[in-house]
Amino acid sequence: MGITVAVTGPTGEIGMSAVAALEALDEVDEIIGMARRPFEPAEHGWSKTSYQQGDILDRQAVEELVARADVVVHLAFIIMGSREESARINLRGTRNVFEATVAAARPQRLVYTSSVAAYGYHSDNPVPITEDVAARGSPEHYYSEQKAACEAALAEITDGTTLQVYVLRPCIVAGPKAPALADVMPWNQLPGPVKRVTQALPLLKPPFPDPGTPLQLVHHDDVATAIALAATTSAPPGAYNIAGDGVVSMSDVARELGARPVRVPHATVSVASGVVARLPFVPSILEWLHIGRTSVVMDTTKARTQLGWQPKYSTADTLSELAASLR
């Protein structure tokens, strides 16, 4: 008999690919997904998956979900949002999932997708960064702060229990089914006709600053494979960095996604980041500026050698796949 996997956030960019990867595993009998929107798994050709509408802030709904599972995969999170709203859902909701999983009799394993952002943007972090470096987060970026806080809560809640805990730390996820990286680019929010004009004439393409910070990307299907492996592997529990091979520059991202790259001194971003960090009230979207401040290129040796993870797409392939899907 195979296992039942509960997935929070199956409707998201990673969730859709993760459920598809779990569906393909012989050792998985059943998948139960939970998120807030209405959703019909059969419309995606999934035969093992059922769905219940629910909010991770609703402790009873979470308890009912995890009580039926051998493995809990926690993906539900607010990535782009206000600092206050994201904190409310991410910190309270994630704690609900962790506590309910520990309290339930059936789950043996918990897989949590943290993020590279959990490490924080610290100049004394090694490059590339390995999993033994503390996930300190950076308080000036709400997402980084919350990812570090969730990892700390996970360690505290599961301490002394027999639950097998796998923490995946992906870099930015992209690909045809994960367009968020392109969607957040300001020129992609222009009305259709205006955007078409700017794209037709190279000089009208919006400028995009490149301070020289290298970026890693990972394809949604490769993250899904990592989640499916973590749900079923006999590799040791713990944290695993997840990123495609190689890096791209912000100029590569700009060119592929329809902007005009402009090299700027690295000091520009450091100064801007320092100013934004000191301002008392900053729109949450501006806090993403901090990710350009420091290189957080990850070493993925552990995922490859211990988890047996072999990404199919490099960072550059992932960017090309995303760009091709937009044309």
Ligand X SMILES: NC(=O)c1ccc[n+]([C@@H]2O[C@H](COP(=O)([O-])OP(=O)(O)OC[C@H]3O[C@@H](n4cnc5c(N)ncnc54)[C@H](OP(=O)(O)O)[C@@H]3O)[C@@H](O)[C@H]2O)c1
Q: Which residue has the tokens 């996604």?
A: 257
CA distance 276 to 227: 35
Instruction: Looking at the chain, list the stretches that DSSP marks H as alpha helix, in order from N- to C-terminal side.
Output: 13-23, 59-66, 83-87, 94-103, 142-158, 180-183, 192-200, 220-232, 250-257, 266-278, 301-302, 315-326
User: Total residues at the site for ligand X (CB under 6 A)?
Assistant: 26
Smallest distance, ligand X to C-beta of residue 234, A: 24
Positions 36 through 55 that interact with ligand X (CB under 6 A): 36-37, 55
Nearest-CB residue for ligand X: 12
Smallest distance, ligand X to C-beta of residue 254, A: 18
Closer CB to ligand X, 59 or 260, in the complex: 59
Smallest distance, ligand X to C-beta of residue 86, A: 9
Question: Residue 16, CB half-sphere, CA atoms under 13 Å: how many?
Answer: 18
Build a one-symbol-per-residue string for 100-139: x at contacts with ligand X by CB under 6 A, - elsewhere. -------------x-x------------------------
Closer CB to ligand X, 93 or 211, in the complex: 93
> If 0-12 CB within 10 Å is exposed, 13-18 middle and 19+ buried, where does residue 154 land?
buried
Q: Please report whether residue 7 would count as binding ligand X according to CB under 6 A.
A: no
Q: Is 68 helix (H, G, I), strand (E, B) or coil?
A: coil
Build a one-symbol-per-residue string for 159-198: x at contacts with ligand X by CB under 6 A, - elsewhere. -----------x-xx------x------------------
Q: Please report whether residue 77 would count as binding ligand X according to CB under 6 A.
A: yes
Instruction: Looking at 104-219, list the stretches that DSSP marks H as alpha helix, in order from N- to C-terminal side.
Output: 142-158, 180-183, 192-200
CB 9 within 8 A of CB 32: no
Q: Please report whether residue 59 would count as binding ligand X according to CB under 6 A.
A: no
